[in-house]
Structure 1
C-alpha cells in the first residue's frame, strides 16, 4: 500500500509539473491585454467631455439660461438660480474620473510607446477639462488630484486657480504644442475631433492657449502665438465633436428634447432675440423657430428670465414663444470645444487692447462671418466702432456667437460683463450666478480641504466672484 501510494503521489507531481509548463503562454487571453494602447482611451475622453459641455440640464439650464440665450416655458427653477445639484456633481465626477484620469493614463502610455502626438493630444484634453472645472468652481484639486492609486491620497488639496491652476493649464498647452510634431499616429476612428490629423490638434492647442491667456490676463505671449501661425484659420479647424444620427450616440439635446418629447420645454431668451432683431441678424432664423413653428410668419419672441409662476403667465404657453432652432436639435449637431468664431473675437479684443498686431475691425468681422457661416446664413453688416465702444461690441458679438455653448457663453459673459443683462424677475439670488457651488459630497469626502478652499476663495455660494471676472 505504501508503494502504491508513493507511485500515486509521484504521478500527480509529474502531472502538475508538466501541465504548468508554458501555462501563461497557452492560456493567455488575447482579448484582455495587460497593457492598453493609448489610442483606445481617446474616444471615451472626447465623448465624455462633449456630453458634459452639451448637457442640457447643466450647460443648458445653468449656462445658456443664465446668460439668457435660452429660457424655459415650464420647470424654470434654474432661471431663478436654483441649479440641479446632481448634474453639478456629475460635471465634477466625470471630468476628473473619466476625462482627466484617462488623459493622464493616455499620456503615460503614449510616452512608453514613443508616440509624441498622442502625448500632445492627452495634454490638450486634460488642459481643456481643467479649464472647464476651474471656470465653473474656482479653486480645485489639481496637484494632488487623482493620486490615490499611486500614494493613497483620497483627500487632495484645492489649488489656487490664479497662481497654480491657470499657469499649469498654460504649461500643459505649451508642452502639447511641442509634442504635436508629426511623430506617432493618432487613431482615426478614436479621434472624434480631427480624424487623426495632428496638425489640427496643434492648432487647437494654441487656440485654446490663446483663450486661456486672455481669460487669465497673462497676455504677454499672445503675439508669439499669432506669429507662430498655428492658430485656427477657418471653421474647418475648430474643435467640435459631431455626433451620429441615432441614440445612444446622438447629440444630447436631440436625445433629451426630440427623442424625449421635451422640445416645447425650451425657448429663446428675450434678451438674445431683441438684441439680434436690433441688428436684423440673419442668424436668428437659425437660432430660433418662428412662433408657432417655422413658416408661420409670426416672427420671433423670446421669454424674460425667471418667472416663478410661469404656468400662469403669457410665456408659460410654448405657442407664444420661439423654440430652439431646428438645426440645433439635429441628432448629429456638433458639440463645440472651441470655435473659430470665438478665437477671432478674442483676437479682435487682443488687437484693440494692443496685445497683438493686426486690425481689430478685421478680426471682429471675421468672427461674425465665421459664426454666420457655421449657421448657413449671410453675415450681418455691423460697423466696428473701436475703442471702449468697440470692446463692448466684441463682447456682445462673442455672446451671440457662443449660442448653445453654455459654459463658454457664461464664462465670457462673466469675464467681460457684456451684454448688461437684467436679473431674473423672481430671482432667488441677488445677482446672476458667477460660479457653481462645490459638489455637496466634497464636504463629507474632503471636508478639511473643502473648508480651506472656501476660506481662501470666499463663501461656497453661486454669487461668489472668481478672480478673473
Structure 2
C-alpha cells in the first residue's frame, strides 16, 4: 500500500520554508486580520477536516447507512434513528464552524493568496460539502464575519452552495494549488499527493451529488473524474499517529468505548465471499482494535477523497451519460481492484473477484451494481458519501431498523438528514426557523433539496 503522510511537523516546516507567509507569532485560535501564521493554522485545519469524516458525525452516518451497528449505549439509539439536536453539536460547533476547520480555512483564505490560499479553498470546499449534504441549507456567506465569527448568520440555499463549492475548487486550481504540493509537504515527504487532481476529484464528487436534480451533473462529473487521480498513490491520505488523541477516530472510539459499536450484520451478509471481509472484521462484530483489520488501527488513514471513489464516479457517470458498458465496467473493475489492493487483498484474489463483475440489464440495474460495490469500498473511509449515494439512488437496498424511534423520524425510513444542532436553535433562532421553513420541515425523514426521495 502506498500512502501519503500529512504529518504536522512536516507540513509546518514545509509551509515556513517554501511559502510567503508571515513569521509573526500569533495565537492560531485567535488570529487577527492584519497578520496570521498560516503555517500554524494549517496542521490543525487539515487534521480536523479528515477527522470530520470518521469521528462523531461519520460514526453516526456509518450507523445510519449500516456500515456499523450499535451494540450498547448511545450507539443503539443512533441505530434506532433516535438522533436529536444535541447529538451533532460537536460536528457543527467544533468540527466545522466555531473553532472548526471551516473557520480555519476562512482565516487563511482571507489573509493569504496564491498557493497558500489555494489549498485552503480546496479544504473549504470539502468541509462545506459535508455540511450541506448532512443538513441542507447552512450558514456560509455570513458565517465567518468578524474575528469571532457571526453568531447570527443567515442560512444559504443548499443547491446554491453546491455552486459555491465548484467556485472554490475552480479558484483553487487557478490560484496554484498544483504548485502547493512542494510548499505544503516539504522536501522530506514520502508521498506524492497531486493537489490539482484532488481538486478535480472533489469537483466530480460534488457534481455527482446532484444527479437527482440536475440532468447535466453526470456529464460534468465524468469530465472532472477523467482529470483526477491515476492511482491511490496520488490521493490525499491523512495518516494518524498512535496512540492517544491523534489516533484514527474509529480505532480510538473502540479503544475508549469497547463493545458499544460493531460491524454491521447486513454488511457482513452482503460481503460473504468478498476477499475484503477479513480485512474489515474477523468475527462479524469487531471493526477495530484487532490485528489485521485495515481500517481499525490507530494509524489507519482517512483519504480526503480516494482514487477508488473517483473510479466509481466515472463508472456511474458513463452509464448515466449513455457511454459504453465496456468503459463503465472497466472503471468499475479498476475501482474495486484499487480498493482491494489498498486494504491488503492479494492480486490473485482481487483478479478473481473483479473478473466476475458485470454490468447488465437496465440503467438502474447497472447503477445498482456500481453503488453496491462502492458502498462496500467506502466502508471505514467515507461513510458520509455512502449515505449520499443511498439518498440519491436508493442503493443498496437497505432495510430500515424495525425498532426505529418515531419521535424525530415518524415514517421510520433510513434518515435523510441530521437535525440542526441545539446550539443553532438557542443562539440563531430566527435564521434557524427561516431555514427550516424554506426546506419544508426539520425531521430526520425530511428530504434535502439535492436528495429527493426515490
Name the TM tier (shorter chain): 0.7 to 0.9
After TM superposition, give the deviation of residue 31 of structure 1 in Å: 4.6
Q: What's the counterpart of residue 180 of structure 1? A: 176
- CA–CA separation in structure 1 for the residues paired with 2:72 and 2:271: 24
Q: How many residues align?
A: 395
- CA–CA separation in structure 2 for the residues paired with 1:181 and 1:67: 33
- Give the gaps of 5 or more residues in structure 1: 1-28, 291-299, 301-320
Provide, for residues 114-159 of structure 1, a one-character-per-residue CA deviation record: whole Å limited to 9, x for no partner. Answer: xx22221010110111110001100011111111349x85321111
Q: What's the counterpart of residue 119 of structure 2? A: 121
Native 8 Å contact 1:239 1:336 kept in 2: yes
Task: Give 1:1-12 correspondences, 5 Å limit.
Answer: none
The question of 1:289 aligning with 2:282 is answered yes
Task: Give 1:256-405 correspondences, 5 Å limit.
Answer: 256-258=253-255, 260=256, 262-277=257-272, 280-290=273-283, 300=284, 321-324=285-288, 326-354=293-321, 359-377=327-345, 378-379=349-350, 380-381=353-354, 382-386=356-360, 387-404=363-380, 405=382
Provide, for residues 79-124 of structure 1, a one-character-per-residue CA deviation record: whole Å limited to 9, x for no partner. Answer: 111126444111111212321121122123322xxxx222210101
Q: What's the counterpart of residue 65 of structure 1? A: 63
Native 8 Å contact 1:148 1:154 kept in 2: no
Give the TM-score, by structure 2 length: 0.80
Q: What's the counterpart of residue 409 of structure 1? A: 386
Q: What's the counterpart of residue 42 of structure 2? A: 42
Decide which of 439, 447, 453 is 1:465's aligned counterpart: 447
Decide which of 209, 212, 215 is 2:209's aligned counterpart: 215
The question of 1:200 aligning with 2:194 is answered yes
- CA–CA separation in structure 1 for the residues paired with 2:87 and 2:53: 11
Q: What's the counterpart of residue 237 of structure 1? A: 234
Q: What's the counterpart of residue 11 of structure 2? A: none
Q: What's the counterpart of residue 158 of structure 1? A: 155
Give the TM-score, by structure 1 length: 0.78
SS in 1 for 2:390: helix
- CA–CA separation in structure 1 for the residues paired with 2:190 and 2:428: 39
- CA–CA separation in structure 1 for the residues paired with 2:376 and 2:225: 24
Q: What's the counterpart of residue 17 of structure 2? A: none
- CA–CA separation in structure 2 for the residues paired with 1:160 and 1:464: 16
SS in 2 for 1:465: coil
Q: What's the counterpart of residue 9 of structure 2? A: none
Do the aligned partners of residues 356 and 201 (structure 1) sit closer, same or farther apart at CA in structure 2, a change above 3 Å counting?
Answer: farther
Which range is displaced more, 129-138 or 65-74?
A: 65-74
After TM superposition, give the deviation of residue 30 of structure 1 in Å: 7.0
- Give the gaps of 5 or more residues in structure 2: 1-22, 28-33, 212-216
- CA–CA separation in structure 2 for the residues paired with 1:136 and 1:190: 37
Do the aligned partners of residues 356 and 383 (structure 1) sit closer, same or farther apart at CA in structure 2, a change above 3 Å counting?
Answer: closer
The question of 1:108 aligning with 2:110 is answered yes
- CA–CA separation in structure 2 for the residues paired with 1:403 and 1:196: 23
Q: What's the counterpart of residue 99 of structure 1? A: 101
Native 8 Å contact 1:39 1:118 kept in 2: no
Q: What's the counterpart of residue 418 of structure 1? A: 395
- CA–CA separation in structure 2 for the residues paired with 1:368 and 1:453: 39
- CA–CA separation in structure 1 for the residues paired with 2:80 and 2:368: 27
Native 8 Å contact 1:189 1:195 kept in 2: no
The question of 1:81 aligning with 2:81 is answered yes
- CA–CA separation in structure 2 for the residues paired with 1:226 and 1:331: 31
RMSD: 2.6
Provide, for residues 344-372 of structure 1, a one-character-per-residue CA deviation record: whole Å limited to 9, x for no partner. Answer: 11110001112778810000101111110
After TM superposition, give the deviation of residue 444 of structure 1 in Å: 2.5
Native 8 Å contact 2:118 2:176 kept in 1: yes
Native 8 Å contact 1:226 1:356 kept in 2: no
